[in-house]
Chains A and B, each alone.
Chain A
Amino acid sequence: MSSPARETFVSLVPALSVEGLGHRFGQRRVLKDVSFSVAPGDFTVLLGLNGAGKTTLFSLATRLYAQAEGTIRVFGMDIRKRMLECLRQMGIVFQQATLDLDLSVEQNLFYHCALHGLSHGEAAQRIAAEIDRVGLADQRREKARRLSGGQRRRVEIARALLHRPQLLLLDEPTVGLDIASRQFMLDHVRRLCREEGLAALWATHLIDEVGEGARVVVLHKGEVLADGAAAQLIGQMRAPSMRAAFETLVQEREAA
């Protein structure tokens, strides 16, 4: 459905571009000269073990921490200068659960819409559509507390899409989920990228979430070790699988 104008725009400006990003907690360096970009329609996996710096990167991109070194741009806009416009383009699923458990699913979603300045009527329409897409239309009046972990995550992804962002940031969105829920989340986000041209950055430590044709950015101890299409990376490393490629990369780095 993309218009010609949209396509030129798409080809020129990455949805997210990170350049020379660094961060310290006191003396400890948690990110060092991190650079990569995510184009519209791209499903990019940010792969790294726990403690690699993924959450720090997300916190910088959503400006929960102030960023000192390097730049982060969302559709070409520097987040330090145009943070509010950037936030409008971003849909975020945090690693932490962020639903208000005492409120119903719908109340949680209305709250999010209000924070983004949507009118009640508009909000109601979008909520109905998004909640239906994640298959939770029947639970919309349930308190969030009564949902399973997988269902809560689905609500969170529905919520992240309500203000129609063009860039999705997901920080370990499948942690603690069963296989079916994990697969649902993965399929849902990939479909959004493929069919609606959204850009997604999916942080995970689960190597098997790097599917066929995904782009991978490998982050290890705050540094980018590799960046490219999964298949290409496996080829370069002469590895039988993504897992083997990842392990080789990490070992080489540790040895160096």
Chain B
Amino acid sequence: MRPIHYLRCFCGIANREWLRFLNQRGRFFSALVRPLVWLAIFAAGFHFVLGVSIIPPYETYVPYAVYIAPGLIAMILMFNGMLSSLSMVYDREMGSMRILMVSPLPRWFLLTAKLLAGVIVSVLQAYAFLAIALIWEIEPPWYGYLTVLPALVLSGLMLGALGLLLSSAIRQLENFASVMNFVIFPMFFASSALYPLWHVKEASLLLYQICEINPFTHAVELIRFALYGQLEPISAAVLVVTTAIFLTLAVYGYDPAKGLMARRAAE
């Protein structure tokens, strides 16, 4: 197989993801409504409770809604990552996964292509959110919309790779509820999405340290700085490394000889 075959294969996978997305407008809608609810209600309620002092990248005091916007964008990416992982589990139960797995291209490529295709769809949703967020006067500088793109892609890859890894480990669709409880909620709340970490540090040093090593925090911070045209190098590095780890483990998990597929079959 030559590079052109790989490219065609990727386009086919991305196109299928796109068609599925168009078919599930409800999914798009709820993926947008979820962060907007946070923005409209939660941010309004907490506006006076939580003071956000001047911390980089912000140059002035910012309204709470502006502070949590990057966290909500990361939330969109996370939910999408988990949803595409859910669809992998669903595909596996329904059999359509088999069609992907018997394609004559290497499995790592198929999984990476699937991951990238999901990220494209997520990034479009993140931009849709940013457009609607203008209503709440979340107005990063114009170039922020460009510089945030690589941050969105990298964060999307990390969260999608995590979803992929989970999908290789989840046995059945029903177990997905526990992913919500044990992965999505803790990752979201133990991060800098809703409150600056110095606030957390005042409350509990241990929690602060947990937040610091949570890759989701780094996704949020990378997006936050990128919206203002700045690079947060540590976060970028953390995301690159965690993406690589999650993806490698996921490819391993889907390897029939070694990973979980083999063990699952053995039961």
Closest 5 CB pairs of A and B: A114-B12, A117-B5, A66-B257, A96-B95, A115-B103
Task: Report yes or no: A100 in contact with B16, Cβ–Cβ below 8 A.
Answer: yes
Task: Report yes or no: A65 in contact with B96, Cβ–Cβ below 8 A.
Answer: no
The residue in chain A whose Cβ has the minimal distance to the Cβ of B265 is A65
The tally of residues in A whose CB lies under 8 Å from a CB in B reads 34
The distance in angstroms between the C-alpha atoms of A33 and B198, with both chains bound, is 65
Is A141 positioned at the interface, with any CB of B under 8 Å from its CB?
A: no
Interface string of B1-32 (1 = CB under 8 A from A): 10011101101110110011001100000000
The residue in chain A whose Cβ has the minimal distance to the Cβ of B22 is A102
Is B179 positioned at the interface, with any CB of A under 8 Å from its CB?
A: no
What are the residues of chain B within 8 A of A26 when measuring CB–CB? 266-267
What are the residues of chain B within 8 A of A94 when measuring CB–CB? 95, 98
Is A186 positioned at the interface, with any CB of B under 8 Å from its CB?
A: no
Is A224 positioned at the interface, with any CB of B under 8 Å from its CB?
A: no
Is A118 positioned at the interface, with any CB of B under 8 Å from its CB?
A: yes
What are the residues of chain B within 8 A of A59 when measuring CB–CB? 265
Interface residues on B, range: 35 or more
Is B101 positioned at the interface, with any CB of A under 8 Å from its CB?
A: yes
The residue in chain B whose Cβ has the minimal distance to the Cβ of A143 is B23
- A sample of 8 cross-chain residue pairs with beta-carbon separation below 8 angstroms, ordered by A number, consists of A94-B98, A107-B16, A111-B15, A111-B16, A115-B99, A116-B9, A117-B1, A117-B6
- A interface with B by C-beta (< 8 Å): 24-26, 59, 62-66, 84-85, 87-88, 90, 92, 94, 96-100, 102-103, 107, 110-119
Q: Which residue from A88, A102, A114 sits with its C-beta under 8 Å from B11?
A: A114
Is B105 positioned at the interface, with any CB of A under 8 Å from its CB?
A: yes
Interface string of B93-129 (1 = CB under 8 A from A): 0111011111111100010000000000000000000
Task: Report yes or no: A25 in contact with B8, Cβ–Cβ below 8 A.
Answer: no
Task: Report yes or no: B4 in contact with A64, Cβ–Cβ below 8 A.
Answer: no
Interface string of B219-263 (1 = CB under 8 A from A): 000000000000000000000000000000000000111100110
Task: Report yes or no: B261 in contact with A111, Cβ–Cβ below 8 A.
Answer: no
Task: Report yes or no: B104 in contact with A116, Cβ–Cβ below 8 A.
Answer: yes
Task: Report yes or no: A117 in contact with B265, Cβ–Cβ below 8 A.
Answer: no
What 16 new A-B contacts, CB under 8 Å, besides A59-B265, A103-B20?
A26-B266, A64-B102, A66-B255, A84-B1, A94-B98, A98-B96, A99-B96, A100-B20, A102-B20, A107-B16, A111-B12, A111-B15, A115-B12, A117-B1, A117-B6, A118-B8
| A88 in contact with B8 given A26-B266, A65-B265 (CB within 8 Å) | no
Least CB distance from B109 to A in Å reads 10
The distance in angstroms between the C-alpha atoms of A227 and B180, with both chains bound, is 52
The distance in angstroms between the C-alpha atoms of A195 and B172, with both chains bound, is 44
What are the residues of chain B within 8 A of A87 when measuring CB–CB? 102-104
What are the residues of chain A within 8 A of B1 when measuring CB–CB? 84, 117
What are the residues of chain A within 8 A of B106 when measuring CB–CB? 84
